Structure 1
Amino acid sequence: MNKSQKQLTWIMVGLIAFNMVWGLGNVVNNYAQQGISVIVSWILILAIYFVPYALIVGQLGSAFKESGSGVSDWVEHTSGKRIAYFAAWTYWVVHIPYLAQKPQGVLIPLGWALQGNGRFLDGLSMPVIVLLSLVIFAAFLYLSTKGLTTLKVIGGLAGSAMFIMSLLFILLAVGAPMIKADLQLATPHMDQLSTYLPKFDFKYFTTISLLVFAVGGAEKISPYVNQTRNPAKEFPKGMIALAVMVGICAVLGSYAMGMLFDSQNIPQDLMRNGAYLAFQKLGNYYGLGNLLMIIYALTNMVGQIAALAFSIDAPLQILLSNADAQFIPAWLRKRNQKGVLVNGYILTGILVSFLIILPIFGIQEIDGLVKWMTNLNSIVMPMRYLWVFFAYMLLNKAWKKYQNVEYKFIKNPKLGFLVGAWCFIFTAFACIMGMVPKEDYAANPAAWHFSLLTNILTPIILVALGAILPLLAKRDRKEKVAEQVKE
């Protein structure tokens, strides 16, 4: 890359990364789990996990600047093709629960935009909700095979609008007391330090997977490392700027949630309806009625639709575009005349449909479904981050080969290995602890057991499925050889 192409400053890098990583849902979901004490949790997770994570990605991106497939390429360079296949499989398969949740993400904002409240799904039975979700997913699975360029562009715009709405929420909430001098804060004693201190017990550690999930995805930043004018200086400054921006938004956003919702009496539907209720309350404070809520609902709905379409295709392309015949059978790599990975779409459809249907056997209402699916994603999605830290540890093991890269996070390979190991262990710990259900066991033992069982089995089954494809690929090769011998 020549000098004229290296135009990004650290401010640009920080802003690009912030738009990739952050969203209002991160604030709402974690406030629903921890209340106002999540502010301290945000500060801790940023310091001990997010900053090293982002800087590790920077060094990997700099070391493997020509790698087009990201994490799987990093793993291949450091440990070989077989393990790289499992990294690519993991990256793809963790999107299955994410896709299974997206139909809810379309229905909920649609209800708020049409009715002005969150009761759209309240009266529906779980089989009906599941059927609606299946119809929405099937429709977009089919449309994705046609290529949805226009929708993806609109989705990009909606994503930017959501980003602006997330910042607007903080500004409007924090500024509300200036507009209404008599405004009563929902959470008592917000002027006392003790209000913000978490209780570091077992229950607390079961909630940290959502924090890890919220700050994850930094590997998307890697292509920008070598587009900065001076990677060794500009990129780390950009990542520190990112951490500061995320920290400010997380802390002020959580504080704003505390102003609007009592931390000691968190509504059961906060994960589902919290963001819409928040904008509705702020609209009333500022004399705008439901306007802010409707704008947020519509932009969120379009963003969710685009994310559903894009997340069906993009991870599949990463897995299968440059697939090695040694690990992935020919039938899965098959494309039709338009270049569509037909059987890849079918496999996606089967796995996602199974997860959409599964709640019928253990969950009775929509809030339980939203909580279960959100927590399941917080367990499964961070599993792809493990490969980032795995590659970084091996990069430090082979230090002499990569010591001349433009950007280094840690110049001491032994210390670098330890930091990579810390992030790996912390991520694994968060995923395992996240498997413990957050629901009250006494209130609904059957739902609690369903959540525990599915939280444990889902990630195991999804990853284990990846071991089947190399066996099928091996059989493919044997059949080909047999046919050639016959000829």
Structure 2
Amino acid sequence: MPQNKQAINTDTKKITWYTLAFMAFSTVWGFGNVVNGFGYFHGIQVIFSWIMMFALYFVPYSLMVGELGSTFKNAGGGVTSWVLETTNPKLAYYAGYTYWVVHIPYIASKGSGGLKALAWMFLKNEWYDSLPSWQVQLATGVVFVFFLWVASKGLSPLKALTTIAGSSMFVMSILFILMMFAAPMINPSAQYFHLDFTWENIIPQFNVNYFTSLSILVFAVGGCEKISPYVNKVTNPGKDFPKGMIALAIMVMVCAILGTLALGMMFDPTGVTAEQQSSFIANGAYVAFQKLGEYYHVGDLFVIFYGACNAIGQFSTLVLSIDAPLRMLLDDESARQFVPRPLLKQNAHGAYVNGIILVGVLSGAIIAIQLLGTGAADIITWLTKLNSVCMPMRYLWVFFAYIMLRKSTKHFKSDYTFIKNKGLAIFVGAWCFAVTAIFCLLGVYAEGDIVRTILNIVMPFVLLALGLVMPEIRKREDAKAAQ
């Protein structure tokens, strides 16, 4: 997934379909997705998996979002509103809760990611990885507590900062691809790898490690539903929103493939070894920009820029991930009736203080558990995999809403229909639902590490179970208040 997965604000009254596509692209895609795919799927072999993922998952996913957005173009709550319109408030609460709670591991990863970006920005090396895990997590904990405090102050300017950081990261990702392909002409004497497209080098080995890593790709291509609040700001919502989703799918596909080829020219295209994988996942993007600077004879200039953009993006996204998903859950009238009353308390800045404390406890527990890691690179790799298990759970509600929409087509009118045949449409929705659920389940497996596998199972279970407990607590509160 990119470093910033937050929706982008716009003051424009009406936006074109191609503007929408670029907005969605900058929120869905990031250079880190290319690095993760290259590291987990043996270099350029990941191209086969990317193509399969796009054809069988991302394209139908995007077009389903297009139909949902076209149908409910006046609903501003995204997937929560879609579930509310097609089912009932209780299920809409669960959709909103899932959207919020899957951000807990994501929040836990932002502090360490931001510190690593700063380390690369100032030191231009992997010094951060040499620190023992207790020092890494202590520093992460301090940063996390500070930004919990920042979130409680309701500092909205950080939203603009996140937008700037996310846009600059998007620009740098595109520039990397263009500059890497141009590098052999600029500096032909530098060392590059030859891309060998023989059958053995492009077809992956379909083993346990392959299937348990596919959640990484599901996580990478998900999130386009975040752009749904902008449906009614598009010039012609019924036709242009789906058109924007199609353009998004094409852009993501092209960047994933070209980005992989660019990395294959820079690193061994057959992939990294198992021993190198953690370091590559954690540092590959920085090393890539450092090498790019060497090709263009500008030293560490590119890695400094990338580190600065990433640090700003990581820390500002940390604040927004604490605040925004919580507001999406607690501001929604259909969800508030199922939430314990203490969590609805707001301070003078409008921040949900007890909700922020709950985020602190849950994410803080994950930060503490990461003490079991062997170092910064191992911790970041672990959190990347955990996020790939948890974050796609929110996509399940997109497919659920689509299935319920197509089951009740006669009750809704849409200017765009992805698949005309009702039965086939429901099948495709169920297919994407099943793919997401299965790959999330497979992703909990950590090869050769039973403790980490257990933790990967327990963490999502605990987080989701809390959502079942909250309505019961609220029911008791309401019953007590009525006495």
CA distance in 2 between counterparts of 1:150 and 1:466 reads: 31
Amino acid in the other structure paired with 2:416: Y
Q: 2:414 aligns with which of 405, 413, 438?
A: 405
Amino acid in the other structure paired with 2:153: K
Cα-to-partner distance string for 1:133-154 (whole Å, 9 max, x where unaligned)? 1100000010111122233222
Secondary structure at 1:190 match in 2: coil
Q: 1:73 aligns with which of 78, 81, 85?
A: 81
1:29 aligns with 2:36: yes
Runs of 5+ unmatched residues, structure 1: 442-447, 483-487
TM-fit CA distance, 1:228 = 3.4
TM-fit CA distance, 1:308 = 0.5
Q: 2:128 aligns with which of 100, 120, 132?
A: 120
Cα-to-partner distance string for 1:404-432 (whole Å, 9 max, x where unaligned)? 21222122221111111011001011101
Amino acid in the other structure paired with 2:313: G
Runs of 5+ unmatched residues, structure 2: 1-11
Q: 1:104 aligns with which of 88, 102, 112?
A: 112
Q: Which residue of 2 aligns with 1:337?
A: 348
Amino acid in the other structure paired with 1:69: G
Cα-to-partner distance string for 1:456-485 (whole Å, 9 max, x where unaligned)? 111111100111111110111121112xxx
1:179 aligns with 2:186: yes
CA distance in 2 between counterparts of 1:250 and 1:457 reads: 32
TM-fit CA distance, 1:193 = 4.7
Q: Which residue of 1 aligns with 2:217?
A: 211
Q: 1:352 aligns with which of 363, 368, 381?
A: 363
CA distance in 2 between counterparts of 1:87 and 1:449 reads: 31
CA distance in 2 between counterparts of 1:24 and 1:348 reads: 28
Q: Which residue of 1 aligns with 2:436?
A: 427
Q: Which residue of 1 aligns with 2:282?
A: 272
CA distance in 1 between counterparts of 2:55 and 2:314 reads: 30
TM-fit CA distance, 1:245 = 1.1
Greater CA drift, 331-340 or 258-267: 258-267
Cα distance change of structure 1 residues 412 and 453 upon mapping to structure 2, 3 Å threshold: same
Amino acid in the other structure paired with 2:369: L
Q: Which residue of 1 aligns with 2:472?
A: 471
| Structure possessing the higher radius of gyration over alpha carbons | 1
Q: 1:367 aligns with which of 368, 372, 377?
A: 377
1:391 aligns with 2:392: no
Q: Which residue of 2 aligns with 1:248?
A: 254
Cα-to-partner distance string for 1:332-359 (whole Å, 9 max, x where unaligned)? 1111233221111111110010000012
CA distance in 2 between counterparts of 1:336 and 1:310 reads: 17
CA distance in 2 between counterparts of 1:348 and 1:473 reads: 19
Amino acid in the other structure paired with 1:280: Q
TM-fit CA distance, 1:69 = 1.8
CA distance in 2 between counterparts of 1:233 and 1:405 reads: 10
Q: Is contact 2:79-2:225 (8 Å) kept?
A: yes
TM-fit CA distance, 1:277 = 0.4
Secondary structure at 1:381 match in 2: helix
CA distance in 2 between counterparts of 1:350 and 1:171 reads: 43
CA distance in 1 between counterparts of 2:299 and 2:184 reads: 18
Secondary structure at 2:127 match in 1: coil
CA distance in 2 between counterparts of 1:319 and 1:351 reads: 16
Give the percent of matched residue pairs that are identical in Structure 1 and Structure 2: 47
What does 1:204-353 align with in structure 2 at a 5 Å threshold?
204-262=210-268, 263-266=270-273, 267-268=276-277, 269-323=279-333, 324-353=335-364
1:143 aligns with 2:150: yes
CA distance in 2 between counterparts of 1:11 and 1:481 reads: 53
Q: Is contact 1:76-1:84 (8 Å) kept?
A: yes
Please tell me the root mean square deviation across aligned C-alpha atoms, in Å: 1.7
1:169 aligns with 2:180: no
CA distance in 2 between counterparts of 1:135 and 1:6 reads: 41
Q: Is contact 1:62-1:406 (8 Å) kept?
A: yes
Amino acid in the other structure paired with 2:346: R
Q: Is contact 2:77-2:229 (8 Å) kept?
A: no
TM-score, normalising length from structure 2? 0.93
Q: Which residue of 2 aligns with 1:44?
A: 52
1:18 aligns with 2:25: yes
Amino acid in the other structure paired with 2:300: N
| Number of corresponding residues | 466
Q: Is contact 2:272-2:280 (8 Å) kept?
A: no
Secondary structure at 2:128 match in 1: coil
TM-fit CA distance, 1:325 = 5.0
Cα distance change of structure 1 residues 336 and 233 upon mapping to structure 2, 3 Å threshold: closer
TM-fit CA distance, 1:61 = 1.5
Secondary structure at 1:44 match in 2: helix
Greater CA drift, 343-352 or 241-250: 241-250
Amino acid in the other structure paired with 2:341: A
Q: Which residue of 1 aligns with 2:7?
A: none
CA distance in 2 between counterparts of 1:363 and 1:232 reads: 49
Q: Which residue of 1 aligns with 2:3?
A: none
Amino acid in the other structure paired with 1:359: Q
TM-fit CA distance, 1:328 = 1.0
TM-fit CA distance, 1:6 = 7.9
Q: 2:98 aligns with which of 76, 90, 94?
A: 90
TM-fit CA distance, 1:116 = 1.3
Q: Is contact 2:118-2:311 (8 Å) kept?
A: yes
Cα distance change of structure 1 residues 336 and 224 upon mapping to structure 2, 3 Å threshold: closer
Q: Is contact 1:231-1:407 (8 Å) kept?
A: no
Cα distance change of structure 1 residues 168 and 459 upon mapping to structure 2, 3 Å threshold: same
Secondary structure at 1:113 match in 2: helix
Q: Is contact 1:325-1:473 (8 Å) kept?
A: no
Cα-to-partner distance string for 1:248-281 (whole Å, 9 max, x where unaligned)? 1101111111111213434330111101100111
Secondary structure at 1:199 match in 2: coil
Cα distance change of structure 1 residues 142 and 240 upon mapping to structure 2, 3 Å threshold: same
